[in-house]
Structure 1
Amino acid sequence: MVIGISNSKEAAEIITGLLAHPISHSFSPIIHNSAAEFLGINLRYYPFDVAPNKLFDAITGMKALGIKGFNVSIPHKKQATAVVDHLEEEAEITGAVNTIVNNYGVLTGYNTDVIGFSLAAEPYNEIFFGKTAMIIGAGGSASAVVYSLISKFNVQKIYIVNRTLETAHDLVKHYRAVYPEMEFCTIEFNDKTLPDALASSSILVNCTPIGMHPNTQNAPELPYESLNPAAFVFDLVYNPIITLFLKKAEAVGCKTLNGLDMLLYQAAGAFELWTGEKMPVEELRKTLPQLLDLKK
C-alpha cells in the first residue's frame, strides 16, 4: 500500500533513512534529500550504521519513534524479512528486503532492488536476453538480480559464484522451488570450470561489495581473460563509479555499467512508497556528476 502525504513544506516532517554496515560509501542520503528538496517535500533521509546483531533493536526503535521507513542494505537484506510484519510479493519471492514502510506501527517489507536492476539493465537486454548469466555473490542483492534475470529477461541458465558454496546452494534451492525448470550451477572462485562458465556467460553481475570504497584496489577473483568480449558486465557497486572489476571487463572489450542507475531506480521505488510522490529521476541524473563530487 502506498502512503501519501501532503506535498507541502508545512506538512509534518517525514523521517526516513538507511540501515547498513558499513555506511560511509552511500549516496542514498544525497539522492533522497535532493529529491525531497526538488519536490518541496518535508522529508529527511539519514544514514544509520547498524551492526548485524543490532538490526532488530534498530527496527524496534523505528516503530517506537514513528519513523516512516528505511532502506536496508548490506548486510541486512535477508535478515530484515524476519523483522517486518508483512512482505510484499517480490520481497517474499527474493527472500530479501531493501525497503521498509512503517504504517502506524505495522511494518511492510518491499524489494525495490528488482525494479531497480531491471530498469538499469533494460537498455542492454539484447546482449543477454534469453541467454546465460553469471552472478558473483549469493546475498540479498544477488537474489533480486536472479529474480529479475528470470522473470524480466528470460535467461536460461545462471551460474552463481560465491566463496561459500553452502550459501550459493541455499540461494539455488530457494529459486528451484519457484522455477523448477530453471538451470542453475554453483561454482567456487577456484573451480577449474570457472573459465569456461565465464566464457559462456552473456551477462556478468557483481552483487558483492568487493571493490567498494575504500577498498577500491580489490576485484572479484575471476579469470578475466576468459570473459566473452560481447558480454555485458554490471557492477552493483557505485562508489567508485568505475571499479577495478569494471576496468578489467572494459580491457577485454565488454560493455559495462556501474550501480548508479540501479541505485536511482530502487531509490525511486522506495521514495514513492514513503511519500506517494514520483522521484524526479531524470532531474537527479542530470545532477549526478555534481552529487558525486561531494563524495570524492
Structure 2
Amino acid sequence: MIKLGLIGFPLSHSFSKNYYLTKFETENITDVNYDLYAIEDIHMFPSLFLNDEKFKGFNVTIPYKQSVIGFLDELSIEAKEIGAVNCITVQREDKEIHLKGYNTDAFGFEKSLTPLLKKDHKRALILGNGGAAKAVLYTCNKLGIPYSIVSRTAFSGDLTYKDLNKEIIDNHTIIVNCSPVGTSPTVDQCPEIPYDYITNKHLLYDLIYNPQETLFLKKGKSKSATIKNGYEMLLLQADKNWEIWKENF
C-alpha cells in the first residue's frame, strides 16, 4: 500500500483527504491511501517517512509551507521562486531518501484565472501578503500583470487599506483576496476596500472557497464585476499533485 498524506496543524477541516479517497474509490485505485498528519512541530515531519518506505508523497498546508523547505533536498523552479511548498515527493534509492518540493498552488491559480482575463484586466491589487499570496504574486509575474500589495501595515506592503481610493481601484481591475477574511464561520466579514468604486470591468478573485460566495464576492457581484472563488484552483492543484506523485510510484 502506497501512502500519501497532508501535514499541517491543525487539520480539523481538510478538503484533501475526502477528495483523494473519493478519487481513489471512483477510479478503482486500491493500492494507495491518503491520510492526515497533524504535527504540532515541523521537526516531527521526518519521523513519518524515515522508517516507513510506503510514503511516496505529502501535501503541505498552514503553517509549514515555508518551514518545510529546510527538510527538502530539491525544489522545483516555481517552488524555489515562490519560497513555499505544498507538494512533496519522497524518492528512495538503496538507503538514500530524496525529497523534492513543488508549488502547485501557482498552477491552480493560473489555470483558473486566465480564462477570465479580458483586455480591461491590466493591473492587479493583491489583498494580503502572507503565504497564500506568494503563488499569486508568482503567477502575476509570469503572466506579465503588474500588481500592488495591500496590507494592514505600511511596512509589509505597497499600500494599506486606508490608502485605497477611486483612482487606485480604477487602475487595478483585478482584485485578489489572499487574506483569510471572510472564511467560514466569519462569513459576515470582508476586506475593507472601497467597493463603491468596483465596476463591471473588475475581476474579483477570492482564494477562499468556503463559503462558496464570500461577502467580498457578493459585493463585487452587486457591482456587476466578474467573480471567482478558490474552489477550481483547489481542484486543479490537487490533480496536479496526483500527476506529480504518480510519476514517482
The interval holding the TM-score normalised by the smaller chain is: 0.7 to 0.9
- State the alpha-carbon separation in 2 of the partners of residues 165 and 47 from structure 1: 37
Q: Which residue of 2 aligns with 1:144?
A: 135
Q: Which residue of 1 aligns with 2:144?
A: 154
Structure 1 residues without counterparts, runs of 5 or longer: 1-12, 169-185, 278-296
Give the drift of 1:122.
1.9
SS at match of 1:65: coil
Higher helix share: 1
- State the alpha-carbon separation in 2 of the partners of residues 244 and 50 from structure 1: 32
Q: Which residue of 1 aligns with 2:52?
A: 65
- Label 1:228 to 1:200 Cα distance change in 2 as closer, same or farther (>3 A): farther
- State the alpha-carbon separation in 2 of the partners of residues 167 and 50 from structure 1: 29
Give the drift of 1:115.
1.0
SS at match of 2:78: helix
Q: Which residue of 2 aligns with 1:134?
A: 125
Structure scoring higher RCO (CA < 8 A, sep ≥ 6) equals: 1
Q: What amino acid is aligned across from residue 154 of structure 1 in structure 2?
A: G
Q: How does 1:169-208 map to 2 (within 5 A)?
A: 186-191=158-163, 193-208=164-179
Give the drift of 1:113.
0.9
- State the alpha-carbon separation in 1 of the partners of residues 120 and 106 from structure 2: 17
Structure 2 residues without counterparts, runs of 5 or longer: none
SS at match of 1:147: helix
Contact 1:128–1:232 (CA under 8 A) maintained in structure 2: no
Q: Which residue of 2 aligns with 1:171?
A: none
Contact 1:127–1:231 (CA under 8 A) maintained in structure 2: no
- Label 1:220 to 1:103 Cα distance change in 2 as closer, same or farther (>3 A): same
Q: How does 1:1-296 map to 2 (within 5 A)?
A: 13-41=1-29, 42-51=31-40, 54-66=41-53, 67-104=55-92, 105-127=97-119, 131-151=122-142, 153-155=143-145, 157-168=146-157, 186-191=158-163, 193-276=164-247
- State the alpha-carbon separation in 2 of the partners of residues 187 and 195 from structure 1: 14
Number of equivalent positions: 242
**TM-score normalized with structure 1 length:** 0.75
Give the drift of 1:59.
4.2
- State the alpha-carbon separation in 1 of the partners of residues 225 and 135 from structure 2: 23
**TM-score normalized with structure 2 length:** 0.88
Contact 2:7–2:60 (CA under 8 A) maintained in structure 1: yes
- Label 1:120 to 1:102 Cα distance change in 2 as closer, same or farther (>3 A): same
Among the aligned pairs, what percent are the same residue? 35
Give the drift of 1:208.
2.0
- Label 1:249 to 1:269 Cα distance change in 2 as closer, same or farther (>3 A): same
